[in-house]
C-alpha cells in the first residue's frame, strides 16, 4: 500500500520539516479542478517537444518536454502514442545517464508505468531495472534516491517474480541501508516486505515492532507502521481497535490526507467449462489500494480461463477526501470503452479511509486514472503472445507528480 510519498520518506532525516499549512478554507469555496490537471494541452506539449528537439536542447530539457507530452497523451487515452514518445526520448537520451542520472531514470520510470498500463510486463520490469541503473551511473552510492529506486525494483519483483524474490530484495535493501547508517530506510523496506509479502497472520506483531520505535529519525517508518496497523485492524473487522489507533494518531501533524484502508474487491473473470464449453463467470482477483495481489478462489482453473478484451478500457475518477477521512462526491469524470469491470473498484474507492483532519480541505480533491488490463503470455501450442486471463487494474495519480513520480 502506498501510504506516503516515497521521496519524502527517504529524504535525509536532517531535512527541515515542512511549514504548517495555513488555515483550511471551507470546501465550498474550493471547486473541484477540471479533468485536465497537468496544465498544457496535448497540442502545446507536442509543439514544445518538437521545438526542443529541433534546437537540440540539453537532455534535461528534452526529458521534461518528453514527459509532459507523454503525460498529456496518456491522459487523453493515447497509451501507445505515449509509449512511443517515451521510447524515442530514451533513444535520444539514455546514453546521458552518467551526466543526467535523474532525468534519464525518470524516463525509464515513466516508460515502465505506461508499459504496465498496456500489460507489457516484461518492458515494465526491465524499465524499472534500467531506472535504477541510470541513477547508479551518475549518483554517489550513498544517495538516498538509490534506496527509493531499489524500493521500486523490489515492488516490481513482488508483482512479477513472486513473494520470495520480493522478500529477498527488500532484505538486501534493508541490510545495505543499515550499513550506511539509515535505519529508517531499513525499517521502511522491512515494512513494505511485511505488508505485501508475508501471510496475514504474521504481519501485526512485526509491524508493531516498527511502530514502537521512539527514534525521531524513524518518524516516517513509525507513521506508516501505525497506519498499517489501522489497515490490519479494519481488514480483520476490528473497528474498535482501528478507532483507538486512529485516536493515537491525533497528536501527529499530517498535513495532507493519507490513505489508510481500502476495502479489497474482486474482479469477474470468465472460464470455459471443459465439458459443456459454456463460459461461466467467477471471481479470482483481489486488489487492494495501489497494490495488486492475485488470489484464486473456488475451483477455477488457470488454464481454462478465457482472456477478455483489455484494449482501451480506463476510467478517470474524482472525489473529495472529507475532514472525517472519508470519500465524498465520487464521480467517473471520463472513460473509454466498456466500464462494466469498474463497479467493484468504485465500491472500494467509496469505502476508503484516509487520515482525518482540517488540513484535508487544502488539497483534498483527487483525480485518479484506472486502467483495466492484463499481461501477455504465450498462446498454447505456439510462440505467439496473447493476453492472459489475469485481469488487473493499474493506477496513476493524475493530480500528483504524474509519470515521473516514484511508486
> Could you give the residue ranges of the DSSP H alpha helices within 198-342?
200-211, 219-235, 239-248
C-alpha cell at 169: 530484495
Topology at the third CATH level for domain 140-252: 1.25.40
Where along the chain do its domains lie? 37-98+106-118, 140-252, 265-397
Query: pLDDT, tens digit, for every residue of 274-323?
Result: 333 333 333 333 333 333 332 222 222 333 344 457 888 999 999 999 98
- The owner of cell 488539497 is 363
Distance, in Å, from the CA atom of 365 to the CA atom of 322, rounded to the nearest integer, reads 9
User: What is the per-residue DSSP string for 6-50?
Assistant: HHHHHS-TTSPPPPPPPPPPPGGGSPPPPS--SSS-HHHHHHHHH
Distance, in Å, from the CA atom of 283 to the CA atom of 171, rounded to the nearest integer, reads 33
Highest mean pLDDT among 70-74, 240-244, 246-250, 403-407: 70-74
Beta strand 291-294 with 305-306 is unpaired
Question: CB–CB of 225/252 below 8 Å?
Answer: no
- The owner of cell 507528480 is 401
pLDDT on residue 347: 95
Of all residues in the chain, what percent carry a pLDDT higher than 70?
76
Name every residue whose Cβ is closer than 8 Å to that of residue 51 and which is 6 or more positions away in sequence.
none
Question: CB–CB of 242/233 below 8 Å?
Answer: yes
Amino acid at each position: 500500500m502506498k501510504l506516503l510519498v516515497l521521496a519524502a520518506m527517504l529524504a535525509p532525516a536532517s531535512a527541515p520539516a515542512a511549514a504548517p499549512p495555513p488555515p483550511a478554507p471551507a470546501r465550498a469555496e474550493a471547486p473541484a479542478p477540471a479533468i485536465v490537471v497537468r496544465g498544457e494541452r496535448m497540442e502545446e506539449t507536442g509543439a514544445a517537444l518538437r521545438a526542443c528537439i529541433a534546437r537540440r536542447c540539453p537532455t534535461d530539457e528534452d526529458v521534461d518536454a518528453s514527459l509532459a507530452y507523454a503525460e498529456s497523451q496518456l491522459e487523453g487515452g493515447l497509451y501507445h502514442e505515449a509509449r512511443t514518445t517515451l521510447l524515442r526520448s530514451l533513444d535520444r537520451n539514455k546514453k546521458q545517464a552518467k551526466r543526467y542520472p535523474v532525468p534519464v531514470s525518470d524516463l525509464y520510470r515513466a516508460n515502465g508505468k505506461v508499459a504496465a498500463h498496456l500489460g507489457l510486463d516484461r518492458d515494465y520490469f526491465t524499465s524499472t531495472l534500467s531506472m535504477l541503473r541510470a541513477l547508479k551511473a551518475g549518483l554517489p552510492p550513498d544517495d538516498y534516491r538509490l534506496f527509493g529506486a531499489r524500493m521500486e525494483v523490489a515492488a516490481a519483483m513482488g508483482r512479477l517474480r513472486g513473494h520470495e524474490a520480493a522478500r529477498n530484495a527488500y532484505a538486501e535493501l534493508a541490510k545495505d541501508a543499515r550499513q550506511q547508517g539509515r535505519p529508517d530506510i531499513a525499517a521502511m523496506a522491512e515494512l513494505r516486505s511485511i505488508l505485501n509479502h508475508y501471510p496475514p497472520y504474521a504481519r501485526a506483531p512485526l509491524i508493531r515492532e516498527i511502530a514502537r520505535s521512539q527514534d525521531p529519525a524513524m518518524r516516517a517508518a513509525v507513521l506508516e507502521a501505525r497506519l498499517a496497523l489501522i489497515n490490519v485492524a479494519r481488514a480483520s473487522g476490528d473497528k474498535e481497535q482501528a478507532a483507538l489507533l486512529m485516536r493515537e494518531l491525533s497528536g501527529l501533524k499530517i498535513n495532507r490526507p493519507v490513505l489508510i484502508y481500502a476495502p479489497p474487491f474482486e474482479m469477474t473473470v470468465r472460464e470455459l467449462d471443459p465439458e459443456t464449453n459454456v463460459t461461466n463467470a467467477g471471481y479470482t482477483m483481489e486488489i487492494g489500494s495501489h497494490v495488486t495481489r492475485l488470489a484464486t478462489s473456488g475451483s477455477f482453473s488457470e488454464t481454462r480461463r478465457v482472456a477478455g478484451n483489455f484494449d482501451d478500457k480506463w476510467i478517470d475518477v474524482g472525489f473529495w477526501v472529507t475532514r472525517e477521512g472519508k470519500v465524498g462526491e465520487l464521480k467517473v469524470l471520463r472513460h473509454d470503452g466498456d466500464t462494466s469491470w469498474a463497479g467493484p473498484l468504485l465500491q472500494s474507492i467509496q469505502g476508503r479511509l484516509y487520515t482525518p483532519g482540517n488540513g484535508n480541505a487544502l488539497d483534498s480533491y483527487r483525480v485518479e486514472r484506472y486502467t483495466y488490463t492484463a499481461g501477455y503470455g504465450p498462446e498454447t501450442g505456439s510462440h505467439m503472445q496473447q493476453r492472459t486471463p489475469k485481469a488487473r487494474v493499474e493506477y496513476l495519480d493524475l493530480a500528483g507528480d504524474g509519470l515521473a513520480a516514484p511508486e
